[in-house]
Structure 1
Amino acid sequence: MPEPCDALVIGGGPAGLMAADALLSAGRRVILTEQRPSLARKLLMAGKSGLNLTKAEDAETCLAHYGAAAPQLEPMIRALPPEAIVAWAEGLGQAVFTGSTGRVFPAAMKASPLLRAWLARLSGLEVRTRWAWRGWDGDATLFDTPEGEVRLRPAVTVLAMGGASWARLGSDGLWAGTLRAAGVPVTAFAPANAGLRVDWSEHMAQHFGTPLKNIALCAGHLHSRGEAVISGRGLEGGGLYPLSPALREGAALRVDLAPDTDAGTLARRLAARPAKESAANRLRKAARLSPAARALMMDCARPLPREAEAIARLIKALPVPHQGLAPLDEAISTAGGVAWEGLSPSLELRARPGVFAAGEMLDWEAPTGGYLLTACLATGLWAGRHAGEFQ
């Protein structure tokens, strides 16, 4: 017989923990299951680079970074805007600071102290690790566990099993087939915030690992300004990631290597150089391009034209031929997931009353910079609060 359960949360990442937090606050008795041996592995991995909690901006500005999913996410982000996430972290005893780009980090620059404080606050939460969800049999929720199959019969459930990137940390996306079989519409997964594959010539090898700084990038209708790193596989980095939706659709990539200088000024500087000067020296002295930027120009636009105006146009919009985004499991996050039409405004599955979904399971994407964790926490809180009210 299935074991009765008041409230069940499946998935021990940020969205699942926030849902559990809300359920406990509503007075529910909560069991949280996680298929990996420990909780929040992807959060802890993100913490190795500082744990970007959110972005110091108002809810309206924040929402603009969620693209087509912004209307659906709006009530959730407004219920837990960036300033509320800062207050939440500080309420856990974790001091934060805001960097020069507006990104908010814990002062400890890692995730483990925050996670320990959070778990300590979740008094009464029953955690069961190494429990892999296997779907439903009637009103029973099935798990494979080290002790064999276990069946629970929860009064309410929140699903927070992540997307389909970084499978080794637990986000394997295997739940998608089970939900489709249960009548839940699921949009196919695709890489987001992923590197771009570029077939470099052998001359680029000396620049692998070198950042291209102070550049602007464009793909389709999307624009970004930041850094990109030249790697053996192509390009990656925060300046590139916001372009993922367009690059995924095959849009061309163009890079402005001198975003603070207009084409006319560049052309005049180039024209003033000696006629016999090498192309590399013209780019260095007149355009003031770094060695990595000059190498990119030579690799993507060889042979360079001699006319100053033509070179200036290339500097301002250098086409970089590419072979698409890196594979799904190498992406920082994923697009796709439970389709919005399969969810009520409270994030309850229309095909499965009493079951809610949150986090990267939902069909949204956002660039890095605090937006991923912001939406995970906000949707987890939203689903948990509504699940707590479910009768």
Structure 2
Amino acid sequence: MSSPSKNAAIIGAGPAGLMAAEVLAQGGAGVTVYDAMPSAGRKFLMAGRGGLNLTHSEPLPQFLARYREAMPHLKAAIEAFPPQALRDWSETLGQETFVGSSGRVFPKAFKASPLLRAWLRRLDSMGVKLALRHRWVGWDEQGRLRFETPDGSLVVEPRATVLALGGASWPRLGSDGTWTETLAALGVKISPLRPSNSGFTVAWSEIFRDRFEGQPLKGVALRFGAHTQRGEAVVTRTGIEGGAIYALSAELREAIMISGQAALHIALRPDLEQRELIARLSEPKGKQSLSNFLRKAVGLSPVSIGLLQEAAKASGASLASMSSADLAHLINAVPLELTGTAPIARAISTAGGISFDELDGEFMLKRLPGVFAAGEMLDWEAPTGGYLLQASFATGVAAGRGALKWLSES
């Protein structure tokens, strides 16, 4: 049984918050998880729609390097709850995992709902209470948590609080970033929230946009400065998105913030060397249209050919007038000017958040004793591939352990 001196409040029922709740409940604390949404884990369920990518199987040193400048701040938390621990935890909930061909780790069910249901059942059996439709609006003059609920205002006074409200992507699922104003008003340093793993805007011609919206560019290589990424991208009505774009999103976003645009180059056939491309393009075209010739000789899709035509028009040239050498060069270096980032509400994740300088080694806010923070509220970002969820789970564990230690010592 928990005692009043060991009561904890978790604000946010996503992976970080629920993991903190589990750690605290295991330690004997009385835990209530508050969330503004009508149900728990809404963004977690969304993440699992295309197959829940829990973590990644690559060696830990390479894994940690994915967090870039935030790596020193996340290292201890991830080492204490590494990818194998997350896989083991999933299996205790009856959800076995497997490693995909890319090294990514998925539950065998390939979705989030069975895992979340089992997890909520476990938390319920541990005495964790779930208070839904409770929107946190800060603290009152006595330092008590304030909530707006369907039944009116509510104040609670836990001995420890874990904030796990997420970033600002997909706000309709609960993470709207409004907490930044509450904490900033108390002097907490917060890096502005920015879209991460997001798409970008491109000034497509009307013809290209109407014809190729939603079409994938498969097996391409994207180059931005010294960075190259192979994979897939998708043409959207307003620009471009997809896995290969997301992997470069941090660098592209920062360039756009500085200069207002970013010059991306796309290799449509990165597996073909220039010499081979020129040889194929030098073959007699006969009576074929240029589009049919490019499709047969080089294996270009209609959207790839459309992209070449967009680039040619932008330079004031035409594909038909180009030499084989020039066309070969263009095929593997199609210039694309990105004019902005897609809205943060459409991004997969968020960059920015609470500065790590504001936290102690237990993930407690130095300005707010007894208040801890975890997950995407913190100032880190990572590529897709399991790194986002791994850090959310691991920081949830770390904040839960920190809160448990606070309860035992205060």
TM bucket, shorter chain: over 0.9
Q: In the alignment, is the contact (CA less than 8 A) between 1:301 and 1:318 conserved in 2?
A: no
Matched residue of 1:31: which SS?
Answer: strand
Q: Which residue of 1 aligns with 2:238?
A: 233
Q: Distance in 1 between matches of 2:98 and 2:238?
A: 34
Query: Which sections of structure 2, spanning at least 5 residues, go unmatched?
Result: 257-261
The counterpart of 2:197, out of the listed 193, 206, 211, is: 193
Could you tell me which residue of structure 2 aligns to residue 100 of structure 1? 101
Alignment partner of 1:322 is 2:338 = yes
**Structure 2 counterpart of 1:224, one-letter code:** Q
CA distance in 2, matches of 1:358, 1:378: 9
Paired residue type of 2:324: A
Correspondence for 2:70: 69
Q: How does 1:308-347 map to 2 (within 5 A)?
A: 308-347=324-363
Unaligned runs of 5+ in 1: none
Match of 1:254 among 265, 282, 298: 265
CA shift at 1:11, angstroms? Answer: 0.5
- Residue 171 of structure 2 is matched in structure 1 by 167
- Counterpart of 2:227 (choices 222, 241, 249) is 222
C-alpha displacement of 1:4: 7.5
Decide whether the 8 Å contact of 1:5 with 1:153 is kept in 2: no
Contact 2:168 2:176 in 1 (8 A): yes
Tell me the amino acid that sits aligned with residue 340 of structure 1. Answer: F
In the alignment, the residues of structure 1 paired with residue 399 and residue 267 of structure 2 have an alpha-carbon distance, to the nearest angstrom, of 42
2:127 matched residue in structure 1? 124
What per-residue deviation string (whole Å, max 9, x for no partner) do you get for residues 292-316 of structure 1? 2111111123323622222222222
Query: What is the letter of the counterpart of residue 279 of structure 2?
Result: R
- Summarize the Cα distance change of 1:134–1:170 in structure 2 as closer, same or farther, 3 Å threshold: same
Matched, 1:150 2:154: yes
Aligned counterpart for 1:348 among listed residues 364, 371, 389 = 364
Aligned to 2:20: 19
1:379 alignment counterpart: 395
1:83-94, aligned counterparts within 5 Å?
Answer: 83-94=84-95
- 1:267 is paired with a residue of what secondary structure? helix
Q: Say if 2:82 is the partner of 1:81.
A: yes
Q: Aligned residue for 2:259?
A: none
CA contact (8 A) 2:233 2:241 kept: yes
SS for the counterpart of 2:248 is helix
The corresponding residue for 2:214 is: 209
TM-score w.r.t. the length of structure 2 is 0.90
Q: Does the Cα contact within 8 Å between 1:14 and 1:377 map onto a contact in 2?
A: yes
Which of 161-170 and 317-326 deviates more? Answer: 317-326
CA distance in 2, matches of 1:220, 1:248: 13
Q: Return the alpha-carbon distance in structure 2 between the equivalents of residues 214 and 192 of structure 1.
A: 22
The two structures, once aligned, show a CA RMSD in angstroms of 1.9
CA distance, structure 2, for counterparts of residue 344 and residue 301 of structure 1? 55
Q: Which amino acid aligns with 1:238?
A: G
Q: What corresponds to 2:183 in structure 1?
A: 179
Distance 1:213 1:285 in 2: 16
Q: Percent identity?
A: 50
Residue 271, structure 1, aligned to residue 282, structure 2: yes
Residue in 1 aligned with 2:136? 133
Contact 2:83 2:390 in 1 (8 A): yes
Alpha-carbon shift at residue 281 of structure 1 (Å): 4.4
Q: In 2, distance between residues paired with 1:19 and 1:268? A: 60
Q: Which amino acid aligns with 1:240?
A: I
Deviations 1:221-247 (A, max 9, x none): 432211111222221111111111122
CA distance in 2, matches of 1:263, 1:383: 53
Match of 1:228, as an amino acid?
A
Normalised to the residue count of structure 1, the TM-score between the two structures is: 0.94
Cα offsets for 1:224-274 (capped at 9, x unmatched): 211111222221111111111122122321111111122232223323445
Alpha-carbon distance between aligned partners in 2 of 1:177 and 1:47, rounded to the nearest angstrom: 30
User: What is the SS of the residue equivalent to 1:346?
Assistant: coil
Aligned residue pair count: 389
